Chains A and B, each alone.
Chain A
């Protein structure tokens, strides 16, 4: 898929994210919009995974540690044919499988996540199994910057480098906001790169909304042989909707009818441009 095609795809994804959050009157809007370009590149450029081979032991793994931005994942999985998009009309509805965090009841979801600080350990386990079995699949996990203070992340980071898991790639959706405020003010984790490097990881910064930068970064993993790779993707919470961008209240804000109409209008204008 070309950069232009990826860009158009992301606009469509953003429209769908908003559509289903608006209909459900619930969802993690800002974070879904900040990570959607990363998921777009993963599923349309990087991952060797499809609905048909999802039970294959050789498929690439994607584990969403920041489970709360599940709307972004659902929209991409539907687009990839894991389930009919109309299923998302049941999002967060009584008895729906499409709950507010990923579950394996939804085809295409690898692990039940939602509690923060779990994805990296699970991914380390998957990557270790690949090494043990001499399989070539790779493991990707998306972390939020707000979940980095969870100690289990750092435990897993140690294990990943100890076992030289260069088949593992973590991506941090570094939108610099979390539910209580600026991530730097809630619990400052900077410098993230130096911390991970000192833990034995190879680290790259990218603009998490730049498709060229993202594809190039993913195409170059492992960044160093024998080391796990970390992509720090600099993103904007609420990206793509003018009044949501970098605004705390859109962490899990739901647009009203006027706001929704404006958002769709802005996104449609983006396609034209």
Chain B
């Protein structure tokens, strides 16, 4: 069985941290790269960016609606604009600005939801973003992605900087082990991080790693071959991959750090059902309630988003 520590290398970092480093690298050679923050330089690991690139840093203060509107104005004037704010506030308080000023006006803002999902843990539900995939999925013209490891994060930021269209990325604060996968990162293309044929574990963001751990348990303890996919892009969803996986595997579980309503799971279910791809299917995420108090890890454990919890669901689904 894999022990978490064994898979982590000394060089693994939180996705949030490599996001900030990548942005500094980009800003060093491109003065159009601009960061807009809402008193979130500290939590966004952007203090260094602000010190090194003061002319490319716009501090708005705690005013997320204005953060997104100003970012849209900057982007429309040619700036490669990263609007960085805790995911919980960015995608709720500023939703109308995201809808109109970013997506509808097609201003290429890169919306960065930091400390996403339940990263803030015991700070409670005001600080959790378990709604962002759901509300943003219903908005046209917005790529939505949750990179799983440092590699996916770096590539997502680099591609986002080049994109002429709106993108929403969300990251957590936890150190994420590098996934073993040769497939390069591309928005809208899921990455198979472990091959398997009995069950597909389709996960996103920081739930990919526990899914991978669950796959190891399933193989060693239950002789179940589990495929694990990092479905980093929630929209546009990789329908081709889903179809091939649904035809190959006997069952599918989706796993996300999000409400079970309206996120990755329901997006997958919608596609499968409408395309006559029928297989035992389970959505794992946060149920429709305000979460139990705890750290991110404790909340994950509580709701079964853990190696043991996911493995248990897989065994049950295949019975």
Q: Give me the interface of A with B, judged by CB distance under 8 Å.
A: 57, 61, 104, 110-115, 117-118, 120-130, 132-133, 151-152, 155-156, 158-159, 162-163
Contact partner, B105, options A104, A132, A162, Cβ 8 Å: A104
B73 engages A124 (CB within 8 Å): yes
Can you list 13 residue pairs at the A/B interface with Cβ under 8 Å?
A: A57-B78, A104-B105, A118-B69, A118-B97, A121-B66, A121-B73, A125-B77, A126-B74, A129-B78, A152-B65, A155-B66, A156-B66, A159-B70
Closest-CB distance, A54 to chain B (whole angstroms): 13
A113 / chain B contacts, CB cutoff of 8 Å:
100
The A-B contact count (CB < 8 A) is: 99
Bound together, the chains give a CA A130 to CA B70 distance in angstroms of 13
Q: Tell me, yes or no, whether B63 is within 8 Å of chain A by CB.
A: yes
Residue B48 CB within 8 A of the other chain: no
Contact in complex: A125, B65 (CB < 8 Å): no
Find out whether the CB atom of A125 lies under 8 angstroms from the CB atom of B74: yes
Q: Is the CB of B78 within 8 A of A122?
A: no
Tell me if B97 and A125 are in contact (CB < 8 A): no
Question: A110 vs B72: C-alpha distance in the bound complex, in angstroms?
Answer: 12
Is B76 in the interface zone, CB < 8 Å from A?
yes
Flag if A122 contacts B72 (CB, 8 Å). Answer: yes
Is B143 at the interface (CB under 8 A from chain A)?
no
CB pair A152–B66 under 8 Å, yes or no, is yes
From A57, A104, A123, B73 is in contact (CB under 8 Å) with A123
Q: How far is the CB of B102 from chain A (nearest CB, A)?
A: 10
Bound-complex Cα distance A115 to B75 (A): 19
Closest to B100 in A: A115
Which one of A104, A127, A152, A162 contacts B69 once the chains associate, using CB atoms below 8 Å? A152
In the assembled complex, the Cα of A234 lies from the Cα of B70 at a distance in Å of 28
Contact call B73/A122, Cβ cutoff below 8 A: yes
Chain B residues whose C-beta falls within 8 Å of the C-beta of A117 in the assembled complex: 65
- Contacting A at CB under 8 A, from B46-89, are 55-56, 58, 60-61, 63, 65-66, 68-79
Q: Verify if B101 is at the interface (C-beta below 8 Å from A).
A: yes
CB-based contact A124/B63 at 8 Å = no
Shortest Cβ-Cβ A-B pairs, 6 listed: A125-B73, A121-B69, A129-B77, A155-B66, A155-B63, A125-B70
Q: Does B104 contact A (CB under 8 A)?
A: yes
Q: Is the CB of A125 within 8 A of B71?
A: yes
Q: Which residue of B lies closest to A153 (CB)?
A: B66
Residues of B within 8 A of A162 (CB): 61
Instruction: Indicate the member of B55, B68, B106 with the most A CB atoms within 10 Å.
Output: B68
- Please judge, given known A-B contacts A112-B104, A122-B72, whether A151 and B79 are in contact too, CB under 8 Å: no
How far is A133 from B55 in the complex, measured between Cα atoms in Å? 10
A198 vs B86: C-alpha distance in the bound complex, in angstroms?
30
Q: A121-B73, A132-B34 are in contact. List 5 more A-B contacts (CB 8 A).
A: A111-B105, A115-B100, A124-B69, A125-B70, A156-B69
Q: Which residue of A lies closest to B73 (CB)?
A: A125
B residues near A151, Cβ cutoff 8 Å: 65
Report the separation of the CA atoms of residues A117 and B65 in the bound assembly, to the nearest whole angstrom: 10
Tell me if B25 is interfacial: C-beta within 8 Å of chain A. no
Closest partner residue, chain B, to A157 (CB atom): B66
Known contacts A57-B77, A57-B78, A111-B76; A128 and B97 CB within 8 A of each other = no
Interface check B186, CB cutoff 8 A? no
Within 8 A of A (CB), among B81-127: 96-97, 100-101, 104-107
Q: Is the Cβ of B106 less than 8 Å from the Cβ of A121?
A: no
Which of the residues A112, A127, A128, A156 comes within 8 Å of B100, measured between beta carbons? A112
Cα distance A122–B78 in the bound complex, in angstroms: 13
User: Hey, which chain B residues are within 8 Å of A129, CB to CB?
Assistant: 73-74, 77-79
Q: Tell me if B79 and A132 are in contact (CB < 8 A).
A: yes
Give Cα distance in the complex from A180 to B194, angstroms.
Answer: 61
On chain B, the residues within 8 Å of A128 by CB distance are 58, 70, 73-74
CB atoms of A121 and B97 under 8 A apart? yes
With A122-B72, A123-B73, A125-B73: A112-B105 Cβ-Cβ less than 8 Å: yes
Interface contact B60-A159, CB-CB below 8 Å: yes
